[in-house]
Amino acid sequence: MGLKAAVIQFPGSNCDHDAYRALEANGFDVKMHWHEVAIQKNQYPLIIVPGGFSFGDYLRAGAIAKLSVAAQSLEEAIEAGAHVMGICNGFQILLESRMLPGYLHVNSHLRFVSKTCSLKVTDEAFPWIQKKDLGKILRFPIAHRFGNYQVPKIDRGEVDAVLKYEKNPNGSFEDVAGIYRKVGKGSVMGLMPHPERASFDALHLSDGQLFWKNAKEALG
């Protein structure tokens, strides 16, 4: 039996199975966790809040999903030791829930963008990014319209900018593509690019394996 991991499913999620397969391929014991079910303390060491259009992005991306039972129980699970990664819409949900600082605007060019981006690893993020990974260039796809991350400033005492775009595709503050915050015994990481869509050689994009292998090594 592998290390337990969960992927939270919302109505409208469309990257949940991508995340499931990426984790499963790396030996995790993965469960799809429905949004109406609370997450218990110490139930999962790893939790993915996946990309997609939770609740159709009605009202505002992530605004309804943050009210779900699973999302409402996340903070206690993190405090107890869970490590959560929110990808794209999952990042939007974490920001709406105020588990991460800042907010997302529509992209600076006002258009949906879908392409592969080069990202520089700029800081550690346990268990996803190790010290030996600093300076690496990773290639992940992006697909979003509301991906322009803004924050008055990065408070280094609260959060770390762990990934930056080499060429900013959306106007994000200081080219930030992903941020990380320690919370209690656990942590929260949010990013707009999709590591789960860059986790298989058959896709000619496999840099996302870095996150899953590091997490398995750190927690397994």
Collapsing DSSP to helix, strand or coil, 20 comes out as helix
The fold adopted by the segment(s) 4-219 is Rossmann fold (3.40.50)
Active site residues: 88, 194, 196
Contacts of 148 (CB under 8 A, 6+ apart): 104, 105, 106, 107, 108, 170, 171, 172
pTM of the model: 0.96
pLDDT in the model for residue 218: 97
Local confidence pLDDT in tens for the 220 residues of the chain: 689 999 999 999 999 999 999 999 999 999 999 999 999 999 999 999 999 999 988 888 899 999 999 999 999 999 999 999 999 999 999 999 999 999 999 999 999 999 999 999 999 999 999 999 999 999 999 999 999 999 988 887 789 999 999 999 999 999 999 999 999 999 999 999 999 999 999 999 999 999 999 999 999 8
* Phi, psi angle pair for 86, to nearest 5°: -105, 125
pLDDT in the model for residue 9: 97
The structural domains of the chain, with segments of one domain joined by +, span 4-219
